[in-house]
Every structure is written in structure tokens, then in C-alpha cells.
Amino acid sequence: MAQRFSAYTIVQRCREMLLPSACALVMYFSSTAIHAAESAVDFEPAHQAASALPRLHSLLISHRGELVLERYYQGARADRPANMKSASKTVISALVGIALDRGLLKGLDQPIGEFFPQELAGDENSVRRAITIEDLLTMRAGLESTSNRNYGNWVLSSNWVAHALSRPLVADPGTDMIYSTGSTHLLSAILAKVSGTSTKQFAEQALARPMGFGMAYWPTDPQGIHFGGNDMEMTPRQMLAFGELYNNAGRANGRLSGAAEGRQVISEQWVNESLQIRTPSPRGEGRFYGYGWWYRELADHDAYFAWGYGGQFIFVIRELDLVVAVTSDSLPGDSRRGHLDRVYDLVEQHIVTPLAASAPLPSRVSSATPSATPSALPSAAFSDVAARTHHGI
């Protein structure tokens, strides 16, 4: 009988015998076929549906920690980093958790006035000084948004941090969710202050290297602070490996990256706290927000996801031991209309639904999987919003 090797073993032997570039080709052409044979679900319909989306660039699926589908479209390549857009906010959240675990931050209730004493000096800024790190993580700072119609003025300003902090207060901090990239950029500035280095260098040392890769291009503001919440770049496989951290109690999946198998990159406690629903989102019915992670249901399963403009996604469905990475064209165009709806439908109908029908309960996921309804969210508000679902923005 012929000896059967796992894809992980094949990749390891490939690395021993071949140059990295050749090994990457072997991985690309062999991994999907190998793992598809190990999976009970045929994901070819997912590939066919993805092929019909003109803006889709990649679709990768990890099930039970194994890569079962990896496809690229419209000229995209496995080795080309993708601009994650606002999915970068989820990575910023991970870095905050690491900084907290290392004692670089006192706690999530730490007021931001401690980090910006000059920008927030004066009695008129007393409420702003009391905004907490948790308020920034959950988009509940109460400050007018720097996103959407205000985005251009913000990024054209001479000081992004000062501009974000000077926005009018339009809600009490800690109450309503106001989506704003300025909030996560303030977190980037805080990370740079407490780590004593740049946010990119901190991410390189604390997250990327432990996962077996390096940080790619990441722009900065006029003061040299790396863009907290936009324009971070990762390859789709790195995005998938990042999602696996949240599917595997913060431990690295060495089968998807060059990391040591099982290495603890993010604490399990932070993973579980990040995935707790903290607030209903105004960006679509049936959608909620935690610490940098969105939440909605897909085929009656809890789906947590990082979401970037134009259709950049990392989906984590812990009940099914499933992670999905999607990248798309983010440039304006007529085909952008309806693209997000079609991506949600693709994941729900061609990945989650067939997998849920065939898969037993997962064994790798932490037993501390968080409830979809945290005590912090008023039950009446949750019931009112969760009764509805919406696929678009």
C-alpha cells in the first residue's frame, strides 16, 4: 500500500529539498487537492461561485486547521500581499491584546488622556480625556467619525491624531457605536507610545514573526504613526493564518504558516473577550461589533469576521472549526455594487451550509467559546436588532 502523507508533511519535505519559490508553487498546486480529499465536503461549487464574481481576487478555506481550498482570480497571486483595508482594525485589536498581556497597558479602562496630555489639555477636553481604550476598540468613543464623508479632510490634515481627538462629541463615550478609523488610529498611536517603537515594529516582533512571516508595506501619517485601521497588507494565506489564531485559542497553526505548531501568539482570554458582542452596529441590521471583530449569523451559525472596504474578509466560524479568507478589488467601479452581498451569499450557501450539514462538532475550538449575547448588551436591544438580518453595508 502506498504511504499517505499529510499536506503538512509534504510541505515540510518540499522546504527541505527545494528553493522557497519552487516550494510555493508545489504548495499552491497540491494543497487544495490533498486537503479536499481529507474533507467530507466538496468545495468545488464554492470555487465555481467565486469564479463568477468579477471583483473577487482570492478565496481560501481552512477546515479543522487544514487548507481545503486555495484559489486566486483576476490575476491575483498567492505571494502578492493584499491591502486588507479596514480588516486592519482587527489586527490592531490583536496588538492591543498582546500589549495588555505584556503589561504595557494598565487595562481596557485606562483613559486616553494619559497618552495625549498635550492634545487633550484644558477643561473643555475633560470628557475626551476620560475616553477609554475599550471605547476606542468598540468604536464607542463618542467622537464624530473621521470615516465616510469626513475621511478626506482627516487624511489631508497635518496631524491625524490631533484631528481625530478634536472632533466634536456627538455621543457619550461608551454608548453608541460610531464607526471611525480615527479611533483605531489613536490605538496605533498608543501602541507606539507604550511599546517604545513603531506600531509596525511592534506588530513584526509580537505578531508576524511568531506566525512565521514579516510585515509588508504599511503607510504612516505625517508624524510617522502607522495607519491604525487601514491599508495594512498581508497575503491571503497570512490572513487565513491570522484568522486561525481566533479559531484555535490564540495558538498558531504551523500548517498554514512558518510558525511553530501550537505556539501561543495571543492569549486565549483575549481571543474570547474579543469575540464577545459589545454593541449593535449601525452598519446593517443583524450586525454587531466586539473588539475589532464584526458578528452576524451565517446559516444559523455564529460568524465573526474582519471586514475591509471592497470585500476583504476573514471569517471565523468556531462552531464548525472553519476559517475563510477573501480578498477583492477595492477600486471604484460598476461591478462593486452588490459585491458584498454576493460574498456573504458565497460563504453562507457554498461553504457554511454544506459544511454544517456534514461536519461533526469541532474538537480544536476552546471550550470557552463566548456567547453571542453578552451581559453588557441590553437584552431588549439585542432582541430587537438580532431579529433581523441584512447582507449589505
Does some domain include residue 22? no
* Structural domain total, the chain: 2
pLDDT at residue 380 greater than cutoff 60: no
Residues 191 and 285 in one domain: no
Query: pTM for this structure?
Result: 0.84
For residue 39, the enclosing domain spans 35-78+272-386
Choosing from 195, 230, 255, the residue where a domain stops is: 195
b/e code 274-303 from CB counts within 10 Å (16+ = b): bbbbbbbbeebbbbbbbbbbbbbbbbebbb
pLDDT band (50, 70, 90) for residue 34: very low
Specify the pLDDT at position 365: 53
Domain assignment present for 323: yes
* C-alpha distance from residue 370 to each of 232, 270, 274, 306 (Å): 28, 11, 9, 17
Residue 122 inside a domain? The answer is: yes
Lowest-confidence pick of 286-295, 342-351, 359-368 = 359-368
Share of residues in the chain with pLDDT > 90 (%): 75
What pLDDT, on a 0 to 100 scale, did the predictor assign at position 33?
46
pLDDT of residue 370: 46
Contacts of 89 (CB under 8 A, 6+ apart): 181, 184, 228, 229, 230, 292, 306
Among 195, 210, 236, the domain boundary falls at: 195
Residues 286 and 343 in one domain: yes
Q: Which helix (H) or strand (E) holds 186?
A: helix 181-195
Section 159-181 average pLDDT: 98
**320 and 338 co-located in one domain:** yes
Residues 309 and 368 in one domain: yes
Tell me which of 11-25, 76-90, 165-179, 232-246 is least confident. Answer: 11-25
64 lies in the same domain as 118: no
Same domain, 63 and 101: no
Q: Is the pLDDT of residue 372 over 80?
A: no
Which helix (H) or strand (E) segment is 379 a member of?
A: helix 379-386
Per-residue pLDDT at 334: 73
Examine the fold and report which residue of 195, 213, 243 is the final residue of a domain before the chain moves on.
195
What average pLDDT does the chain have? 86
pLDDT-based confidence at residue 337 (cuts at 50, 70, 90): confident
pLDDT: is 41 or 335 the higher one? 41
| 121 and 167 fall within a common domain | yes
pLDDT of 171 over the 50 cut = yes
* 332 vs 95 pLDDT, higher one: 95
Span 323-340, average pLDDT: 88
Statement to judge: residues 379 and 283 lie in one domain: yes
Do 291 and 359 fall within a single domain? yes
Tens digits of residue pLDDT in 61-90:
999 999 999 999 999 999 999 999 999 999
Reply yes or no on whether the pLDDT at 377 is more than 90. Answer: no
The predicted pLDDT at position 284 comes to 74
Taking only the tens place, the pLDDT of each residue in 119-141 is 999 999 999 999 999 999 999 99
Looking at the structure, do residues 138 and 166 belong to the same domain, yes or no?
Answer: yes
Cβ atoms of 138 and 279 within 8 Å: the answer is yes
Tens of pLDDT, residues 201-228: 999 999 999 999 999 999 999 999 999 9
Residues 333-352 as b or e (16 or more Cβ within 10 Å = b) = eeebeebbebbbebbbebbb
Please compute the mean of the pLDDT values over residues 19-23 and round it to a whole number.
48
> By C-alpha distance, which of 240, 187, 227, 291 is closest to 66?
240
What is the separation, in whole angstroms, between the first and last Cα of the chain?
Answer: 53
- pLDDT confidence of residue 1: 35
